[in-house]
Amino acid sequence: MSLLVPESGLFIWMLLAFGAVFFILAKFGWPVITGMVDERARYIDEGVSKAKEAGEKLEKVQQDTERMLQEAQSRQSEILEEAARMKQDIIAKAREEATVAAQKVMEDARQQIQAEKENAVRDIRRQVGELSVEIAEKVLRHSLSTDEAQMDYVNRLLDEVENRAQ
């Protein structure tokens, strides 16, 4: 059957035509297209990996920011706490100092009062002594006319002095 027998003429033409097409396309056609297909695939791969990298970087930056923010917040609260503590310290110290000063003033006052009192007592004593000597002179001059009376009075005075010395 003629359909199953290859015709030599067509075979030769096919060899030439296909060979020529193959040669021309291998030289001017396919490498350009497949080169671009390959290059584009690489370009897309690169783009994907770059995008991934950028995403990772962004995430890192976000984490850093968050961490810094938290640090700042904790630092702020620390500072506020310290300030409050310092305030209380200062107040307490001031109060203590004031107390001490007040006590000192009171002590001074008390000592002064004591000294004044002693002075006054000493003064009074002196005046009382002088007054009593004066009075005694006057009394003595007036009433010690008899011997008995003189003796009684001397005795009495001696007793008194004795009592006081005890």
The interface with other proteins within residues 50-89 (CB under 8 A) comprises none
Does residue 12 belong to the site contacting other proteins (CB under 8 A)? yes
* Piece of 5-13, 58-66, 86-94, 99-107 that binds other proteins (CB under 8 A): 5-13
- φ and ψ of 7, to 5 deg: -80, 130
Amino acid occupying residue 150 = Q
The encoded tokens of residue 62 equal 């976000």
Does residue 24 belong to the site contacting other proteins (CB under 8 A)? yes
Applying CB under 8 A, the site for other proteins has a residue count of: 36
Does residue 36 belong to the site contacting other proteins (CB under 8 A)? yes
- Compute the distance between CA of residue 148 and CA of residue 118 in angstroms, rounded to an integer: 40
CB-CB contact of 143 with 149 (8 Å) = yes
Q: Note the residues at the interface with other proteins (CB under 8 A).
A: 2-15, 17-18, 20-22, 24-26, 28-37, 39-41, 43
